[in-house]
A and B are shown apart, each in its own frame.
Chain A
């Protein structure tokens, strides 16, 4: 069981918008910033969103993040086939004194 809760799967058609949720608690998402990672098949993870909603250089603005209370979400608009990947949220947990990841969401572009 992961400390952060994500839906195991999500899907949408090309061009559509999809949202992936990440639910935590007061010791992690509720008190610390959230980061999102994308892992394409056979590749290393990549930082996609940091500090809740910031995009690293090179990440398209089709990707956006938000946080409210103990939940966060990742939105992807204008879906493309190359967006098919596993997506993970992550945050620092004050109680565990360590980083925690969500279980991951496998995104399928129909």
Chain B
């Protein structure tokens, strides 16, 4: 059974940084692209970033480009998202999801909450 478990969320001041992790199990991790999607309070889902299985190719939404960095450690079956220069509108639940091509995300974690506030 596929299992994705996010961690690393919390309260951070504007301009601060945070690193999210997603521990994966139940499938061959390096065979799959992985993705971060977020949902801000009162708003809908927003694709944030994706990385292919090889980790050589990364993709970002314009809203986070230059501030967030996605990476993965296939030896640890773990996906990461480094969040820098955080702003209030980055406040959201961040979900880790398996998949990417054609917006096909077939398994999701339970999410981790990031709150950006002074």
Contacts and interface: CB of A to CB of B under 8 A. Distances in A.
Interface of A: 2, 32-33, 35, 37, 39, 43-47, 50-51, 56, 86, 88, 90-92, 96-104
A100 B47 contact: yes
B56 interface: no
Contacts of B101: 92
Interface residues of B, number: 26
A98 B46 contact: no
A88 B103 contact: no
A98 B102 contact: no
Given A44-B95, A44-B108, A46-B108, A101 B102 contact: no
Interface string B25-53: 00000000001010100001111001000
13 contacts: A35-B104, A35-B105, A37-B105, A44-B111, A45-B97, A46-B108, A47-B104, A47-B107, A90-B105, A92-B102, A98-B59, A101-B46, A104-B44
Contacts of A56: 106
B44 A88 contact: yes
B109 interface: yes
A33 B50 CA distance: 18
A92 B33 CA distance: 14
Point out which of B95, B103, B111 has the most chain A C-beta atoms below 10 A from its C-beta: B103
A47 B44 contact: no
Given A91-B103, A92-B101, A99 B47 contact: yes
Contact of A98 (B60, B95, B97): B60
Contacts of B109: 44
A104 B45 contact: yes
B79 to A, nearest CB: 15
